[in-house]
Amino acid sequence: MPRVLLLLPTSTYRASEFLAAAEGLGVEVVTGSDAPQALAFVMGDHFVELDLDDPEQAAREIEQLGARVRLDAVVAVDDRGALTAALASERLGLAHNSPAAVSATRDKATMRRLLAAAAVAQPAWREVAGVPGDLGAEAAAIASAASAVGYPAVVKPCSLSGSRGVVRVDDATAARAAAARVRSIARDAGIPGSAPLLVERFVPGPEVAVEGIVRAGTLDVLAVFDKPDPLDGPFFEETIYVTPSRLSVADLDAVGRLVADATAALGIVEGPVHGEVRLPHLAGGGAADDRGGAGAHQGPVLVEVAARTIGGRCARTLSFSAGQSLEELVLRHALGLESGPLPVRDDEASGVMMLPVERSGTLERVDGLERARAVRHVTGVEVTVSPGRPLRALPEGDRYLGFVFARAASPGEVEDALRAAHAALEVRIA
Ligand SMILES: Nc1ncnc2c1ncn2[C@@H]1O[C@H](COP(=O)(O)OP(=O)(O)OP(=O)(O)O)[C@@H](O)[C@H]1O
Ligand SMILES: [Mg+2]
């Protein structure tokens, strides 16, 4: 029986899907987690406690485990274990992305450098070094970088996710204020004050997410999601994702080629890929005159690409030939269990809405769940924060309130169902 080491951080949303996929494939699972397991002694070599914030050390421990039990693959279920998986796979001689490639996807400035070297279309950008102890100097440097790339611009930390600390600024005053706010968010997340921030030109237009899998260096696009709510800032809360995309075939081809080029530029050669792409040539209104800087872009522009699957619970929207989940495809690939052509996504349109956190406070309760679940085409409504827990709105926020899922014949019906379900919910925040 093939055996996989799954790296499951305590904070992950992705555990149950990957465990179910492993079970469905008849694959034996060893769990690697940063949660000390009360029953670790009973689990023996089926559990290993790892410090996923110390990937080198975690990889050494996995190598020791690999000397006792055969491990056929090491798979990180999300970003936090990705570098550990790469380092451990290298030590164990398993096919995987290089640690350098994985690191590049986890540091937005490194990613921008590599994409620039390969001439992949991306926003104009500047890396601004932190100035510990002198916020005034840092704010001036951020404002000067923003005027160099041109307004509107975006200020962001290099290594956070979930749009945490990502802020659009339209002038120098806003840029200076954002510098302080983004720095404070970065500090709260444990990022040292000397770490650089990134300033980018804001790229207007619709945004899509691309889910793919790379096999021996070749990217296959598995799904493209439209994000029908405009992401114009100042903060960038993800809400609705719907697939298949309603973009034209020509635009979809261009998006696929861009993500493939980006993947190659970063050196991602195996496993899942999640890309985010903007299409400035489709920007409406006044933004049409401003395609992210002086007609810089004729086609799609890469926001970023990560060597992981789609985050949160969103992968539940995807199912492939014979009802296979995305996690099954990822495990099959990692374990070399693929046979024949890549499965195709099921015909039905499908989508998810990440429930927005409208303001910060304490979650009292969410009413209207039954009404939301009764909306036609809605297949699930899940609140992932317990009552009494603190909630923070973006840009500080770092977790999802919950998810609504829908399936229907067309993307439009899916989108309508998600909006109707959201309207039926009443989120009470004290
Ligand atoms: N230069 C830009 N132009 C336009 N929009 C941007 C730009 N940078 C970021 N955004 C918006 O902010 C969102 C989050 O930014 P980014 O992907 O860089 O950060 P993140 O925290 O890694 O996000 P996530 O984890 O949600 O993928 C993007 O999906 C996009 O909507
Ligand atoms: Mg992103």
Whether 3-97 shares its CATH topology with 348-430 is answered no
pLDDT by 10s per residue, the chain, length 430? 899 999 999 888 888 999 999 999 999 999 999 877 665 555 667 889 999 999 999 999 999 999 999 999 999 998 889 999 999 999 999 989 999 999 999 999 999 999 999 999 999 999 999 999 899 999 999 999 999 999 999 999 999 998 999 999 999 999 999 999 999 999 999 999 999 999 999 999 999 999 999 999 999 999 999 999 999 999 999 999 999 999 999 999 999 999 999 999 999 999 999 999 999 999 986 544 455 654 567 899 999 999 999 988 999 999 998 889 999 999 999 999 987 788 899 889 999 999 999 999 999 999 999 999 999 999 999 999 999 999 999 999 988 899 999 999 999 999 999 999 999 999 999 9
CB 274 near ligand 1, within 6 Å: no
Decide: 413 in ligand 1 pocket, CB within 6 A.
no
CATH of domain 124-201: 3.30.1490.20
125 lines ligand 1 (CB under 6 A): no
- Look at the block and give the residue holding tokens 């719907």: 242
* Closest-CA residue to 242 (of 200, 273, 270, 206): 206
Alpha-helical regions (H) of 26-92: 40-43, 55-68, 82-92
pTM: 0.94
Determine if ligand 1 sits within 6 Å of the CB of residue 207.
yes
Task: For ligand 2, an ion, list residues with CB under 5 A.
Answer: 276, 304
Structural fold of domain 348-430: D-amino Acid Aminotransferase; Chain A, domain 1 (3.30.470)
Domain 98-122+204-306 has CATH 3.40.50.20: no
* Domain map (residue ranges) of the chain: 3-97, 98-122+204-306, 124-201, 348-430
Please name the residues in contact with 373: beta carbons below 8 A apart, sequence gap of 6 or more.
380, 381, 421
The two structure tokens encoding residue 326 = 């995305």
Question: Cα-flanking dihedrals φ and ψ of residue 66, to 5°?
Answer: -65, -20
Contacts of 113 (CB under 8 A, 6+ apart): none
Q: How far is the CA of 166 from the centre of ligand 1 (A)?
A: 7
Q: Is 105 in the pocket of ligand 1 (CB under 6 A)?
A: no
- For residue 204, the ligand closest to its alpha carbon is 1
Query: CA-CA distances (angstroms) from residue 266 to 100, 116, 323?
Result: 9, 10, 32
Return the pLDDT at 40: 59
Q: Which CATH number fits domain 3-97: 2.40.50.140, 3.40.50.20, 3.40.190.10, 3.10.20.30?
A: 3.40.50.20
